Amino acid sequence: MNNLSRRELLAAFLGLPVAIAGCQRQDTIALPPGKLVGASAGIGHRLRDGLQITVPEDRWEETGIAIIGGGMAGLSAARRLLQAGYDDFVILELEPKPGGTSRSGSSKIVPYPWGAHYLPAPPKENRALVELLQELNVFEGTDDRGDPVVAEQFLCRDPQERVFYKGRWYEGLYLRAGASDDDLQQLARFESEIDRWVGWRDGDGRRAFALPMATGSDDAEVTALDHVTMAEWLDVHRFTSPRLRWLIDYACRDDYGLRSHQTSAWAGLFYFASRIREPGEDSRPFMTWPEGNGRIVEHLHKPVAKRTRLGAAVAEVIPTAADGETGVEVIAVNHDGSTANGFRAQRAIFAAPHFLAPYLIRTYREERAQHTAEFEYGAWAVANLTLKDRPIARGFAPAWDNVLYDSPSLGYVSATHQRGLDYGPTVLTYYYPLCGGDARADRERLLNLGRDEWAEVALADLERAHPDIREQAERVDVMRWGHAMIRPRPGFVWGAARRKAAEPYRGIHFAHSDLSGVALFEEAFYRGIHAAEDVLMALGRDVETKL
């Protein structure tokens, strides 16, 4: 695909009208410098394909627990172990930085995200998350219900969102400009339907949609939503408004890397209902930092940094049994595969994406791996554009989240917005989810383009809203996430495969947001804590659950 002409590239990823408009420019400016930043696909593919590793006896270490993966789930598991007074563990992370899709970057202007970039304020019932955020000093008390109140400097600064449509920016994500009476009536009816689900409770008093999702209901009325797509659900309820359907399709692309006709209706409604406390209320407010959830990564990693091995690619996980004792051996290599280290542990927490389990865990493929075929992941490109000045724009004022109505991308977030820096240099983080029907083909499309091609896609896309963005761009760096997030297709969230994957296997406990079917911080945090507590109990420790 690298041999595509510029017009073919833009047509393939942004559509023919953008390609024609882009190629009509006579004064095309050369691409600014930049680089391709992780993730480390090379060694990962070698391990997947069966790279054979031998560890010399003098390179083996003893540890109580080996945590495989230093993303949010792995870091959360480590934090819970320390809270319980257990510090005999090691975290093995493939990348040179921890955090997974929540990691961040830095510039001379401001830090910026490479993936997840906000967190809804939790209710009081999510005790573990409230405790974490208290450590980050983001609260300034509680409201009448006892829910934490987020300090103003951590709430997403206004204006929060805007959308670009036919040459102008408009406030919010729902395009009200030019909306018909029928459009607005359908929007109100959809909001009423969401309110109905927000107020719904099962016989045990559980919400239909809750964060984390394991605390929500598994009642048949709720799980039946997982059998149809969000688009089919909209059809049944006669939601035909193009503006409403665009908003819902955008939501599915935003959180799941899927279109509405590919997304489980359970996941589609979860997006809207899980973040609302009571019917008639707004969604829980968003907290954000310039570097996005990288701020939380830094906080979680600092206490366990000395127990973290970065650039350590796990090559094999081997369950063992001797003298009636269960153990796990873990082999890790550096990025070129030249140096190997072994870890003999009593237990392991597998906090990497579940699709890796049959490649890394010995005997897992033969004994249990059939369900892993149901785990499908979306591919994403993320570009960080460093600008020397703000680009030209017409209409509503710059916001934190800036979305292009007619683009397959999600637009961009502004890293300087939260700091109130409204003029001068900035960093814009551009997100492009590949939402084709074939996840493998999407990954190939993603990885077949290099830094220059993805930089060109980002600039050409944003050029429609900001005609001078090429003149303002000083550099464009690109990250390619081949397995960015789990895709909640119909039948997956409440299917047997997801639940089977969460079961421990021969001394190995699993912890990753994909075990929830939705790739959110709250889910990774929950899964990490849950796995840590299970492991401690398996080791005979008395643990008071945080969940």
Task: Supply the pLDDT for residue 54.
Answer: 85
Domains of the chain (ranges plus CATH)? 6-30+377-486 (3.90.660.20), 42-103+293-372+494-538 (3.50.50.60), 177-284 (1.10.405.10)
User: Does the pLDDT at position 3 exceed 90?
Assistant: no
pLDDT value at residue 41: 61
pLDDT value of position 444: 96
Mean pLDDT for the stretch of residues 272-301: 97
- Residue 528's nearest CA partner among 195, 36, 99, 107 is 99
On the question of pLDDT at 289 being above 70, the answer is yes
Is the pLDDT at 96 greater than 70? The verdict is: yes
> pLDDT grade, residue 335 (50/70/90)?
confident
Give the CA count within 13 Å in the CB-facing half-sphere of 47.
29
Identify the residue with better confidence: 44 or 106: 106
How much is the pLDDT for 40? 61
Q: Any long-range contacts for 423-426 (C-beta under 8 Å, 24+ apart)?
A: 423/390, 424/389, 424/390, 425/109, 425/386, 425/387, 425/388, 425/389, 426/109, 426/110, 426/387, 426/390
Determine the average pLDDT of the residues in 449-460: 97
What would the mean pLDDT of 86-99 be, rounded to a whole number? 96
The model's confidence at residue 46, banded by pLDDT at 50, 70 and 90, is low
Instruction: Classify the phi-psi angles of 529: left when phi > 0, otherwise alpha if psi is within -120 to 50, otherwise beta.
Output: alpha
User: Per-residue pLDDT tens for 359-385?
Assistant: 999 999 888 778 999 999 999 999 999
Rounded Cα distance, 78 and 341, in Å: 20
Q: Is the per-residue pLDDT at 336 higher than 90?
A: no
pLDDT at residue 119 in the model: 97
Please list, residue by residue across 492-503, b when 16 or more beta carbons sit within 10 angstroms of its beta carbon and e when fewer do.
bbbbebbeebbe
Residue 23 pLDDT more than 80? no
Compute the average pLDDT of residues 43-65.
80
Mean pLDDT of 184-192: 98
**Tens digit of each residue's pLDDT (9 = 90 or more) over 462-518:** 999 999 999 999 999 999 999 999 999 999 999 999 999 999 999 999 999 999 999
pLDDT over 90, % of the chain: 89
Q: Place 38 in a pLDDT band, splitting at 50, 70 and 90.
A: confident
Over residues 347-358, the mean pLDDT reads 97
Average the pLDDT over 343-372 and give the result: 93
pLDDT higher than threshold 70 for residue 47? no
Percent of the chain residues past pLDDT 70, beyond the cut: 96
Residue 1 has pLDDT above 60, yes or no: no
Say what the pLDDT of residue 217 is: 98
Which residues is 215 bridged to in the sheet? none
Give the 3-state secondary structure of 511-539.
Answer: CCHHHHCCCCHHHHHHHHHHHHHHHHHHC
When the pLDDT of each residue in the chain is averaged and rounded to a whole number, the result is 94
Phi, psi of 129 (to 5 degrees): -70, -40
pLDDT of residue 252: 98
Each residue's pLDDT tens digit, 300-312: 999 999 999 999 9
pLDDT for 322 equals: 82
Task: Name the token pair of 18.
Answer: 């953008």
pLDDT of residue 50: 61
